[in-house]
């Protein structure tokens, strides 16, 4: 199975206090068994780095642990999509649904590739599930 995955899913797999942690670990296990191929916009790398940095700053993890989590997540093989050709689509989705360009980038990649998007962002899922049937909440995995 090939899916678009957002940074929230990957982070939930490594942040045990997150809603959807068990399901996110299950998706990582399926990936490790070779059952899933991940796609994402190239910006996923920066989102993961930033989330681990913020977790360290907020004392969720010591700096060393946050960097280890970051490194481990970034070793996961993800086909990182260049989104330059999707810029108009991203803008239009973000504008129409009052979302960030970052959120819209994941939606645009999924829509353009005709792949499901599994998200760890419950607000994103709840606000767009009726507009984009390919968006799935990690908690339902």
Q: Is the dihedral of CA 71, 73, 77, 78 positive or negative?
A: negative
Kindly report whether the global pTM for this prediction surpasses the value 0.85. Answer: yes
Could you report the per-residue pLDDT of 28-86, keeping only the tens digit for each? Answer: 999 999 999 999 999 999 999 999 999 999 999 999 999 999 999 999 999 999 999 99
Residue ranges of alpha helices (H) inside 1-140 are: 7-14, 21-32, 44-57, 63-74, 87-97, 101-113, 122-128
Q: Is the pLDDT of residue 139 over 90?
A: no
Could you report the per-residue pLDDT of 78-107, keeping only the tens digit for each? Answer: 999 999 999 999 999 999 999 999 999 999
Q: From CA 9, how far away is CA 23, in angstroms rounded?
A: 9
Q: Is the pLDDT of residue 3 over 90?
A: yes
pLDDT for position 58: 93
pLDDT for position 130: 93
Q: Is the pLDDT of residue 25 over 90?
A: yes
The CATH number of the domain covering residues in 2-140: 3.40.50.1010
Q: Are β-strands 117-119 and 135-137 bridged in parallel, bridged antiparallel, or unpaired?
A: parallel
């Amino acid at each position: 199975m090939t899916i678009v995955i957002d940074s929230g899913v990957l982070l939930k797999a490594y942040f045990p206090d997150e809603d959807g942690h068990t399901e996110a670990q299950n998706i990582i296990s399926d990936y490790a068994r070779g059952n899933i191929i991940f796609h994402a916009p190239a910006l996923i790398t920066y989102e993961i780095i930033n989330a681990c940095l913020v977790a360290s700053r907020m004392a969720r993890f010591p700096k060393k642990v946050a960097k280890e989590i970051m490194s481990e997540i970034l070793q996961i093989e993800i086909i990182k999509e260049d989104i330059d050709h999707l810029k108009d689509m991203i803008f239009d989705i973000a504008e129409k649904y009052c979302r960030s360009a970052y959120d819209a980038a994941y939606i645009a990649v999924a829509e353009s590739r005709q792949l499901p998007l599994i998200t760890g962002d419950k607000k994103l899922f709840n606000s767009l599930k009726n507009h984009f049937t390919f968006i799935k909440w990690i908690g339902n995995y």
